[in-house]
Every structure is written in C-alpha cells, then in structure tokens.
C-alpha cells in the first residue's frame, strides 16, 4: 500500500500523505516513503516547488503511538522498512534548495505541528484543529520545538506547549506557525497563488533567500553584513541574475534555467 502519493506537473511536485486509516501518523513506513519522495524531488533539477498536503480529515497526527509504545507496526510489508530518524525528516526542509509549501487540508497536532512549521510557506483550512498535545500523552514536543519556537512569541509558546490545548487555524496564524488560514473552498486558490509567485522567482535566488532566512538571525550583526555582502556579490555574477536584470529592462518575463 502506498502511504505517500507523488504527482509532478510544470516544475511542481505535490507530495500527499495518504495513510488516512492511520491519520497520517509518522509511522516508520510513512516517514520512509516521505523521505524517499522528498529526496527524489530535491534531486530533480526541473522541480522548483514542492507542495506537501494530505488525504482525509487529518494532515498529520504526529508520532505513531502504537509503534512508539512497542506495539505492532501500523504497516507491515514483505521486508522491514528502514527506520528514518524523525530529526532527519524535520531538518531536511531547511537545507533543501527547493521551496516547500504546506497545504494543510486537515487537522494537525503533535508532531504534525513540526511538519507544518518546517514548511517555508503554509496555508491551512480554517476549520482545521492544531495543537501541541504531547503533554497529554506524557511526552514533550521535543524535536518539533526546534522548528516551532523560532516562529512563536516567547509569551505565547508556554501557553500553547504546556497546556496542550487544541487551537484553531486562526490561532495557528496568530502564533506564527501558519501563514494563512482560509475556508476550504479557497485553499487551492491561495496555494496556487503562492506557487505561481514562487515560479516567477529565480531558483538560485529562492535558494539563496532560504539561506538568508535561516542563517542571518543566528549571526552577529557585523558577521551578517560580511556574509550577505559576499553572497550578494556572488549572486550578481550569476547567469540567473543577468537574465533577471535583462528581462526587467526589456519588460518581459525572465526565462529561468532549472
């Protein structure tokens, strides 16, 4: 059974979590298929944007508790699925040169919050439920805190993570974990708008901008200025920059290489 579906069209790869029966929990099998799909997208020079979404009413319910508690794996194949460390999954998005868009078409709790926060841009249906529910299960939002805390205000993170209450899509936007929360019938239009805008940017420029977003906040100011000046000079020397500037002066859309 395929737990992760992949569709490619026009420079965009859509990866769909399709384990509805298990609420798209992060089982060993699902994580293995997901990482394989993301590896393939990252290695394809024709892929510019990756959209991560779900089938069913749940985007991701977090860890597979049956598996984690020592019970029977949710999925058994002819051969054991190699275990992928969840940290490998969560951390890969930051280092990828591709832009990841989360299309959250269902409830998103526990480890699913980390998966949503790992995206570069995220749009959710406004009736989806979010929540750091780990404390209600006797554990903590450990690894996903690395992704979520930088996006949250210090005064709001304790309430969300310590109380473990559910929240609305609008609350997730207010906390900085989601970019937009929209009615279900507007979800595709907003996601498609994000994708169209991303495809209008140069792939090298987008990859460099992802570096800025993750690295600059970690550097002392003088180091940040020195590194960004060097990066800027490198970018202006690229064929992509020359095409972008030429297209602007000629009043035409740029033609980007893969």
| Site of tokens 């450990």 | 142
Q: In the structure, what pLDDT confidence band is assigned to residue 256 with cuts at 50, 70 and 90?
A: very high
CA dist., res. 68 & res. 90, Å (int): 18
pLDDT at residue 75 tops 50: yes
pLDDT at residue 22 tops 70: yes
Question: Quick one: pLDDT at residue 258?
Answer: 65
CA dist., res. 253 & res. 119, Å (int): 27
Q: Tell me if 8 sits within 8 A of 49, measured CB to CB.
A: no
The arithmetic mean of pLDDT across residues 212-233, rounded, is 96
- pLDDT, one tens digit per residue, over 88-97 is 898 889 889 9
Helix (H, G, I), strand (E, B) or coil at 149: helix
* Buried residues in 159-192 as b, exposed as e (16+ CB within 10 A): ebbeebeebbbebbbebebbbbbbeeeebeebbe
Question: Quick one: pLDDT at residue 79?
Answer: 46
Q: How many Cα atoms sit within 13 Å of 58 on the Cβ side?
A: 17
CA dist., res. 254 & res. 245, Å (int): 8
CA dist., res. 126 & res. 196, Å (int): 22
- pLDDT, one tens digit per residue, over 153-189 is 889 999 999 999 999 999 999 999 999 999 999 999 9
- pLDDT, one tens digit per residue, over 55-65 is 999 999 999 98
Residue of higher predicted confidence among 154 and 230: 230
Q: In the structure, what pLDDT confidence band is assigned to residue 78 with cuts at 50, 70 and 90?
A: very low
Q: Which two tokens stand for residue 63?
A: 């860890």
**Residue 34: is it exposed, middle or buried by C-beta count within 10 angstroms (0-12/13-18/19+)?**
buried
Backbone angles phi, psi at 39, to 5 degrees: -60, -45
Q: Kindly report which listed range (64-73, 134-143, 244-253) carries the lowest average pLDDT score.
A: 64-73
Sign of CA dihedral 166, 169, 170, 172: positive
CA dist., res. 221 & res. 209, Å (int): 17
CA dist., res. 39 & res. 89, Å (int): 10
Question: Quick one: pLDDT at residue 81?
Answer: 56
Q: In the structure, what pLDDT confidence band is assigned to residue 223 with cuts at 50, 70 and 90?
A: very high
Question: Quick one: pLDDT at residue 87?
Answer: 80
User: What is the average pLDDT value for the chain, to the nearest integer?
Assistant: 92
Residue of higher predicted confidence among 59 and 74: 59
Write down all domains in the chain, each with its CATH number in brackets.
Answer: 4-199 (3.90.226.10), 203-249 (1.10.12)
Q: Which of 10, 142, 152 is nearest to 68 (CA)?
A: 142
| Site of tokens 């990828």 | 96
């Amino acid at each position: 059974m395929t737990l992760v579906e992949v569709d490619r069209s026009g420079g965009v790869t859509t990866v769909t979590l399709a384990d509805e029966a298990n609420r798209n929990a992060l089982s060993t099998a699902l994580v293995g298929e997901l990482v394989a799909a993301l590896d393939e997208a990252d290695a394809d020079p024709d892929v510019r944007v990756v959209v991560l979404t779900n089938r069913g009413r749940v985007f991701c319910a977090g860890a597979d508790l049956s598996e984690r508690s020592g019970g029977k794996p949710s999925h058994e194949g002819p051969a054991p699925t190699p275990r992928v460390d969840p940290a490998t999954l969560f951390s890969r998005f930051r280092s990828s040169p591709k832009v990841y868009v989360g299309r959250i078409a269902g409830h998103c709790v526990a480890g699913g919050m980390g998966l949503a926060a790992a995206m570069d841009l995220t749009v959710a249906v406004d009736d989806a439920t979010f929540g750091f529910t780990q404390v209600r299960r006797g554990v903590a939002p450990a690894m996903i805190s690395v992704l979520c805390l930088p996006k949250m205000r210090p005064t709001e993170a304790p309430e969300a993570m310590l109380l473990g209450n559910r929240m609305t899509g609008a609350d997730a936007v207010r906390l900085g974990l989601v970019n937009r929360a929209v009615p279900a019938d507007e979800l595709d239009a907003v996601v498609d708008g994000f994708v169209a805008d991303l495809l209008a940017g140069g792939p090298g420029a987008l990859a460099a901008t992802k570096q800025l977003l993750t690295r600059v906040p970690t550097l002392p100011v003088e180091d940040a200025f020195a590194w960004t000046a060097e990066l800027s000079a490198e970018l202006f020397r690229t064929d992509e920059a020359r095409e972008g500037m030429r297209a602007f002066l000629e009043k035409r859309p740029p033609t980007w290489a893969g």
